[in-house]
Structure 1
Amino acid sequence: MKLHPNILFVDDDEESLLSLIRTLKALGLECHLHAAFTKESALKLFQESEPSVVVLDLHLDKTSGVESGFALLRQFLDLSKACRIIVLTGHASVEHGVRALALGAANFIEKPANAQHLAALIRDGIAQSALRNELETYRKKSLEGSSFGIVGVSEATRQLMEEIAYASQSNLPLLITGETGTGKGLCAFSVHSLSKRSKENFVRYQPTFLTPDLVNSELFGHIKGAFTGATETRRGLITDACRGTLFLDEIDELPIETQVSLLGVLQDKKFRPVGSNQEQETEFRLITASNQNLAECVEAGKLRRDLYHRIAHLHINISPLRTRKDDIPPLVSHILSQLFSKEELNVVQVSDDAM
């Protein structure tokens, strides 16, 4: 997100617009504020400043009325997918606001605008614009080839990439579901790599077939003498993941005892290594994955209900490849190019019949 984003105000009433801008500055709106009083100057400033948010008065022209504002709204939307537009409407002109929303505006507010309300809408618009820019960057990466190994042209894959980009901008726990082999681990790593935690550790753990004591030891660490065989103190994966991302694959396989401890860590950001009385602080992004129906696991007593609700704030479901056959040709080409570049395979193309 830009440190001081550009905000463009468009209104033919110069005096009232400048007064509004002064009020917003007094409220501490830390942005570069630009004012335009005609359609022509508005378009020029829009292209020069690339604003994150536009505050647009619909009634720009006395001759054409609100249609002048609607025409400019359409032009702004054509010029930028990321810019968020807040429309100013006349008193009791809700229908104009609704029409603007249908065209693609982010919000509308009646004139005279409440400055505090407008400032809140602008701040929200800045955040939305930044997220849309992230999404566009991610789309461009995907069109150039693979995005961290995610390859595909189907609508389902494009939607997946958007969901990954959205999830990467949050610190909330993320649950990824899908059949075995759909790429849940790759999805988790992509979210981490696009996030602000990308320079920190991405720690993956799969608890299958281990006893509760071993799982607790691997996750939380242990002190020397904590149990038979604990000949030295060992740090856990939660410590390794501090400030980064902890990816727990097959979360439904986590022992119930460990689930209780993990829930405590998520709530309090503190944990105790096995055998220790000393609490340690930690902070990490949790991503979990499963190929099971977790709602059914909850009903079967395999997964704690409170933990399930805690880990599923955000949810991405990956559809199997058989439902997105358009992805097969580019995926095969990607795999072959990787093998060919490593001199592991001499095949340079695959016939249509083989596809």
Structure 2
Amino acid sequence: MSRHRILIVDDEISITSALELILGEKGYTVETAKSVGEATARRRESPFDLVLTDLRLPDSDGIDLLTRVKDETPETQVIVMTAHGSIEITIEAIKRGAYYYIEKPFTPEQVLMLVERALQYSAIKRENLTLKHALSDDGEAFGIIGRNAKMRQIHETIRTAAPSDASVLIEGESGTGKELIATALHVQSNRSQRPFICINCAAIPNELIESELFGYRKGAFTGADRDKRGLIDAAAGGTLLLDEIAEMPPHLQTKLLRVLQERRLRRLGDEQEIEVDFRLISITNRDTAQMIQDCTLRKDLYFRISTVKIKVVPLRERLDDVALLAERFLQRYSEKYGKRILSISRAAFSLLSRYDWPGNVRELESV
């Protein structure tokens, strides 16, 4: 198994050195650059699977580098690094094709989790060539591992629901793999070559989320010095993933409902409506029935976003998959780090199968 190649672009030596150490220790091949020009030269020498770039660089900016990477090597994922308070340009980067962003200062755990997810997304897209209409016999389909009947049902739902434009609601505890399912639904769909825009509703301040989702016209409010497309419009032809949708303020839930019903939206400060074409996937780790009862989630919006509903069971309810998951993780990381660990003992399997796994699959992977 070839080691993933990662390019880090930042003019702060402390940042590049720290990331080189963190990622290098996990088996990644890491190179660094201090500018867009140097990064371009590195990329011409050899391709990279992932680029982590600061948004502010000496000779240009991260948006310019992002655009070049996506134009020249669309399969390369890009994560932008941003300082606190620059959420607007960060979301612009996501619209331009960045996988996601990470805010400085960050922890090694945050970096490693985001890098793993970005590379996993690339792997799922590659698997699309052979898994378009197939379900594997070894308990893994679309990068989602499990032989349990409930997981098989999820595999089948992905196969049947992905080609449609039906809105999908994915429910489940943290660490159960909801993002993997959302990614598989996009990759297996007819929209797979169009944008896949992911936004965490809990990560954007309430005062910004409306303008970021719907966009605005110049002069709509103080500081609106230019027209700006919203994330919904930016997802044109593709898929919009709303993570933690229940965190969206009630008045925006009403606006989103109208957009889903009429497939038209009006940007802030605009008199005209524009047509929009996107597929909506929503994720939540909360109890939707309780949220409706508490009036934090509109009942009519719930019915609109849950045309297809996928409930991801916690790992404690499919303990028969623990051994399969553990074996796959052992194989993956043994190959990644060049270790010769052939198997897990029966005693270890017995312990793993008796544990409650409150952190679900994510916790098992980190053991």
TM-score range normalised by the length of the shorter chain: 0.5 to 0.7
- 2:221 corresponds to which of 208, 219, 227: 227
Output the CA distance in 2 between the equivalents of 1:349 and 1:238. Answer: 47
Output the CA distance in 1 between the equivalents of 2:145 and 2:218. Answer: 46
Question: One-letter code of the match for 1:339?
Answer: Y
**Residue 196 (1) aligns with residue 183 (2):** no
Q: What does residue 177 of structure 1 align with? A: 171
Pairwise CA RMSD: 2.4
Output the CA distance in 2 between the equivalents of 1:142 and 1:217. Answer: 43
Output the CA distance in 1 between the equivalents of 2:311 and 2:228. Answer: 35
Q: What does residue 276 of structure 2 align with? A: 282
Q: Which secondary structure state, in structure 2, belongs to the residue aligned with residue 353 of structure 1? A: helix
Give the drift of 1:336: 2.9
Question: One-letter code of the match for 1:171?
Answer: D
Give the drift of 1:237: 1.4
* Contact preservation (8 Å) 2:176, 2:315: yes
Q: What does residue 242 of structure 1 align with? A: 236
When residues 303 and 352 of structure 1 are mapped into structure 2, their CA distance, relative to the original with a 3 A threshold, is: same
Give the drift of 1:309: 1.4
Output the CA distance in 1 between the equivalents of 2:304 and 2:251. Answer: 16
Q: Which secondary structure state, in structure 1, belongs to the residue aligned with residue 176 of structure 2? A: coil
- 1:306 corresponds to which of 295, 300, 304: 300
Give the drift of 1:281: 1.1
Q: What does residue 155 of structure 1 align with? A: 149
* Contact preservation (8 Å) 1:212, 1:258: no
Give the drift of 1:185: 1.1
Give the drift of 1:270: 0.9
**Residue 321 (1) aligns with residue 315 (2):** yes
When residues 224 and 350 of structure 1 are mapped into structure 2, their CA distance, relative to the original with a 3 A threshold, is: farther
Output the CA distance in 1 between the equivalents of 2:200 and 2:188. Answer: 23
* Contact preservation (8 Å) 1:175, 1:316: yes
* Contact preservation (8 Å) 1:139, 1:161: no
Q: What does residue 294 of structure 1 align with? A: 288
Q: What does residue 336 of structure 1 align with? A: 330
C-alpha deviations, 1:42-85, integer Å up to 9, x for none? xxxxxxxxxxxxxxxxxxxxxxxxxxxxxxxxxxxxxxxxxxxx
- 2:265 corresponds to which of 260, 268, 271: 271
Output the CA distance in 2 between the equivalents of 1:142 and 1:342. Answer: 23
Output the CA distance in 2 between the equivalents of 1:265 and 1:332. Answer: 43
Q: Which secondary structure state, in structure 2, belongs to the residue aligned with residue 288 of structure 1? A: strand
Question: One-letter code of the match for 2:303?
Answer: H
- 1:261 corresponds to which of 252, 255, 258: 255
Q: Structure 2 unaligned segments of length 5 or more: list them.
A: 1-130, 350-367
When residues 270 and 336 of structure 1 are mapped into structure 2, their CA distance, relative to the original with a 3 A threshold, is: same
* Contact preservation (8 Å) 2:170, 2:282: yes
Give the drift of 1:343: 2.5
Q: What does residue 181 of structure 2 align with? A: 187
Output the CA distance in 2 between the equivalents of 1:339 and 1:247. Answer: 29
Output the CA distance in 1 between the equivalents of 2:338 and 2:249. Answer: 41
Relative to the length of structure 2, the TM-score reads 0.55
Output the CA distance in 1 between the equivalents of 2:325 and 2:229. Answer: 39
Q: Structure 1 unaligned segments of length 5 or more: list them.
A: 1-136
When residues 352 and 218 of structure 1 are mapped into structure 2, their CA distance, relative to the original with a 3 A threshold, is: farther
**Residue 252 (1) aligns with residue 246 (2):** yes
Aligned residues: percent identity? 41
Q: Which secondary structure state, in structure 1, belongs to the residue aligned with residue 296 of structure 2? A: coil
Q: What does residue 108 of structure 2 align with? A: none
Output the CA distance in 2 between the equivalents of 1:340 and 1:187. Answer: 25
